[in-house]
Amino acid sequence: MDGSDAERVAQALAGDRDAFRVLVERHSRSIFRLAYRMTGNEHDAEEVVQETFLKAYRRLSRFESRSNFGTWLYRIGVNCSLDLMRKRRPDSERRDSDAPEGSEAVRELPSPDPAPDRLLLSAELGRQVAKALGALSPTERAAFLLRHFEGQSIEEIGQALGLRASATKNSVFRAVQKLRLALEPFVQVKPNVAASRAPSPNQ
């Protein structure tokens, strides 16, 4: 696993198949994680990973050594995810609403104490988060996930999505605003419930 990505790319271009295998091992988990959050489905995510590395291998000669290989790979992975989501749009919408509890987005939420009412609250919040993510445009969802789940910079996200910095910032901002609007009524449930249980001043 020694050697930079650029060195491995050069070796792969020279005919070293093991060098490209190392690149796959280094980046497959991050591409799968991104694809899973984009598609909401493990089978689709695996398909995206395979398609991403297949395209990366075929386009390896286009990679510029001064660039970041991971960012270049993210761009291919995002595009493969978007292509698959467009092709399977009806199915993906149904999965977003029917099976959100298994999504990575849900597992990233803070875990509450395991009281029954809190567990129910967490499960419902998970459904709302997955539904809100599913309502975003593909570009907004990709920008949000890359920024807040993968920790990518605005510049890196712009490179991955083929957007200018201003458009990238707007995509992230719109995604955050939409998610906040969609989740605001729900995340306020907890304080309201607590207030309803508190004794009134007249008691």
DSSP letter string, 54-90:
HHHHHTGGG--TTS-HHHHHHHHHHHHHHHHHHHTHH
DSSP letter string, 2-39:
-S-HHHHHHHHHTT-HHHHHHHHHHHHHHHHHHHHHHH
Residues in the chain: 203
Residues 74 and 72: their CA atoms lie apart, in Å, by: 5
What is the predicted pLDDT for the residue at 43? 93
Positive or negative, the Cα torsion across 189, 192, 194, 197?
negative
What is the predicted pLDDT for the residue at 183? 82
What residue ranges do the domains of the chain occupy? 1-98, 102-196
What is the predicted pLDDT for the residue at 172? 94
Contacts of 82 (CB under 8 A, 6+ apart): 38, 138, 139, 142
0.85 cut: is pTM over it?
no
pLDDT < 50: residue spans in the chain: 1, 91-120, 189-201, 203
Residues 96 and 44: their CA atoms lie apart, in Å, by: 13
Closest C-alpha among 129, 99, 123, 100 to residue 111: 123
> Domain 1-98: which CATH class?
mainly alpha
What is the predicted pLDDT for the residue at 197? 44
DSSP letter at 150 equals S
Rg of the chain on CA atoms, in Å: 20
Question: Within a 10 A sphere around the Cβ of 166, how many other Cβ atoms?
Answer: 10
**Strand ranges, E, within the chain:** none
Structure token pair of residue 9:
């790319």
CB-CB contact of 31 with 73 (8 Å):
yes
Query: For 14-54, what is each residue's pLDDT tens digit?
Result: 999 899 999 999 999 999 999 998 888 899 999 999 999 99
The CATH code for residues 102-196 is 1.10.10.10
